[in-house]
Amino acid sequence: MTKLGEATSQAIINANIESINISEWLFTITSEEYAACSSGHQSAAQGQLPSGKRVSMNVENVAGYFMVQHYIETISEKHRVLTVSPNTTLWLDDVNYILLQITWELTVEKIDEDTSLLTCKVISETENEKFIEATHELTKDIDPQETPFQLHINEETPLFAKDIERKALAGVFMLEEV
């Protein structure tokens, strides 16, 4: 696999870190909540593999490309979740598509007693060298902070943080620990 791109964004969560469970948030977000976190988000669903690992399936448009991801739980902790979608499909048009591997990591760190920091990091990789070359050619003159991939992460991260904050303040994650 060759790295196609990487994007990281951060946002403030106005909630005590102990009231947050990022893994539970990711694997319980509803389709409506996911769709509200970006203009490109269309839907989300959760499932479980026969091994017991949780999966988050997401449908979205990024940079005009329709994508379907199957994020498999790799590391699942209260303040860190790492998932890998080994078979993301990125549709170029109605017939042609590219297979990608997407790694999505969410972490939460304590800032103070009432504030936490969400970091969202996404890495995309593919074996399709032609697509990598074409993408790099299209984005070579664009500031890395202005690429469509980075702009998408910048849009969704603060909205993820607001959804996490709303649930943390409502005690949603504390109920799941009982």
Q: Please report, for the domain that includes residue 71, its CATH number.
A: 3.30.530.20
178 is a domain residue:
no
Cβ pair 122, 103 in contact under 8 A: yes
Cβ pair 127, 106 in contact under 8 A: no
Please give the full DSSP string across 63-94, using - where no structure is assigned: TTEEEEEEEEEEEEETTEEEEEEEEEEEESSS
63 is a domain residue:
yes
Q: What is the pLDDT of residue 175?
A: 66
20 is a domain residue:
yes
49 is a domain residue:
yes
156 is a domain residue:
yes
Tell me: pLDDT of 176 over 60: no
Domain range enclosing 11? 2-172
Q: What is the pLDDT of residues 61-101, one digit of tens each?
A: 998 999 999 999 999 999 999 999 999 999 999 999 999 99
Q: Structurally, how many domains does the chain consist of? A: 1
Q: What is the pLDDT of residues 116-172, one digit of tens each?
A: 999 999 999 999 999 989 888 888 888 888 988 999 999 999 999 999 999 999 999
134 is a domain residue:
yes
Tell me: pLDDT of 178 over 60: no
177 is a domain residue:
no
Cβ pair 117, 10 in contact under 8 A: yes
123 is a domain residue:
yes
Structure pTM?
Answer: 0.94
